Amino acid sequence: MSTASTAAAISTAAARPPIVGDPSPWGVIDGVEPLADGVVFVCTPSHGGAWLSPAAQARMPAALQPMHGRAFWEEDCEICAVLIVFALHDSLDRSRAIAILARWKPLWLDALAADHDVPTAAQVARIRRLWADFSVLGEPDFTAFSREADTGMAHGWIGTRIFVGIEPDGRAHS
């Protein structure tokens, strides 16, 4: 199938929920799993991601532009934004999603922060530094930090040692 005909087939398939045998940006779909209304996880022999219906796409911030258009969000990084917006996670998955976006798509995390009670990329970086400064073992739980709607300040515990407030730009106060 030529690149143009593949793109046309993907565009046609993007108008309805995908099924096994449909094209995707990663090849022919060999598995589907509905995750939420208008959100379907698709897999191929080589990769996968989330498919979003037009209504689900409308819930995603406009600043987030996935590499395969608004219908398909790849599974390594882009899907983290989908998990946060549609609350498709437990706290450990949410914390990992925040960490992945902070590292690979910090502007996406910043676009999600205010509406989805997640720290900004600068706040995540500061939490990580404080975690190391206080020699706390393991990975930070970014879900333990909540954001103030009016100021954007994130508040939470660094381990069990210190309660901090972190400004959206990463400045910390204890």
All structural domains of the chain with their residue ranges:
3-85, 91-173
The dihedral built from the CA positions of residue 62, 68, 72 and 77, taken in this order, carries a sign that is negative
Phi/psi at 81 (5° precision): -65, -40
Alpha helices per DSSP H over 19-90? 54-59, 78-85
Whole-prediction pTM:
0.88
Q: pLDDT tens digits, residue range 116-142? A: 999 999 999 999 999 999 988 988 999
At residue 92, the pLDDT reads 76
At residue 89, the pLDDT reads 83
Q: pLDDT tens digits, residue range 73-127? A: 999 999 999 999 999 988 779 999 999 999 999 999 999 999 999 999 999 999 9
